[in-house]
Amino acid sequence: MKAIRLLAASVCLAAGGCDAAPEIAQRIRHAAESATVHKDWTNERLAFGVRLSAAAEERATHWVIYDAAYERIPYPNGDVSALRGVCADEIVRAYRLIGIDLQKLVHEDMARAFQVYPKRWGLKRPDRNIDHRRVPNLATFFARHGTSLAPSENADDYKPGDVVAWALPDGRPHIGLVTERRTDDGKRPLVMHNIGLGPQIEDMLFGLTITGHYRYEGPRKNS
């Protein structure tokens, strides 16, 4: 029945008979967009950002306890327990699904240019157990090796696969991934993030103060 109503509304639009109800067109467009949300992050024929969004979709199926405790982990491709993690871990895990190891990349970049990274933790040298799990370090890495975009209040500036960093009201940093999903009115993209309840896909793009907007598609071929 839902499909029949959608078809009927589409015919109505095509005939030009729905000019008085633009919200119907908006709902139909949103339904069509929702129907094409990609889930196969392994499909290399998809645009990189769409694959990363698909990886975010996969991450949102996991139950994760928010836990920022320091742990010694393997290197490269190391991770804390799959049942634990913070917001930065979900970014690392999504990228890792499509073959990009941010633990290794951040560690190598910090070893080369430690002086340009934040000094908030009193470290004197890189620590491959924790550096990639910290939002300011990820933001610095993405700005250095990807595209850094000016924070904007225009939702259309945020594309699937973009990384967004925020400041919580108390100043602590937060980070998430823009997905293909949209709000019910189609006006904003939904974001995959972990702010305490595990990885969730939610309407929170403009819910916090945006401090960074990045687009990173892996190591450049000439690097």
Please state the pTM of the whole predicted model: 0.84
Residue 10 or 29, more confident:
29
130 domain residue, yes or no: yes
Here the CATH number for the domain that contains residue 48 is 3.90.1720.10
Quick one: 48 and 89 in the same domain?
yes
Q: Contact at 8 Å (CB) between 201 and 183? A: no
Domain that holds residue 15: 1-36
Q: How many domains does the chain have?
A: 2
Quick one: 147 and 190 in the same domain?
yes
Residues 146-172, mean pLDDT to the nearest whole number: 98
221 domain residue, yes or no: no
137 domain residue, yes or no: yes
Residues 103-115, mean pLDDT to the nearest whole number: 98
Quick one: 143 and 164 in the same domain?
yes
Q: What pLDDT, in 10s, does the model give residues 60-83?
A: 999 999 999 999 999 999 999 999
Quick one: 31 and 53 in the same domain?
no
Q: What pLDDT, in 10s, does the model give residues 199-217?
A: 999 999 999 999 999 999 9
Question: Does the pLDDT value for residue 136 go beyond 70?
Answer: yes
Q: Contact at 8 Å (CB) between 38 and 180? A: yes
**Cα–Cα–Cα angle for 46, 48, 54, rounded to 5 degrees:** 75
222 domain residue, yes or no: no
Burial 192-203 (b: 16+ CB within 10 A, else e): bbbbeebbbbbb
Burial of 20 (0-12, 13-18, 19+ CB in 10 A): exposed
208 domain residue, yes or no: yes
Residues 157-174, mean pLDDT to the nearest whole number: 98
Quick one: 97 and 18 in the same domain?
no
Query: What is the spatial distance between Cα 196 and Cα 65, in angstroms, rounded to a whole number?
Result: 7
Phi-psi region of 178 (alpha: psi -120 to 50; beta: other; left: phi over 0): beta
> What tokens were used for 18?
């729905």
132 domain residue, yes or no: yes
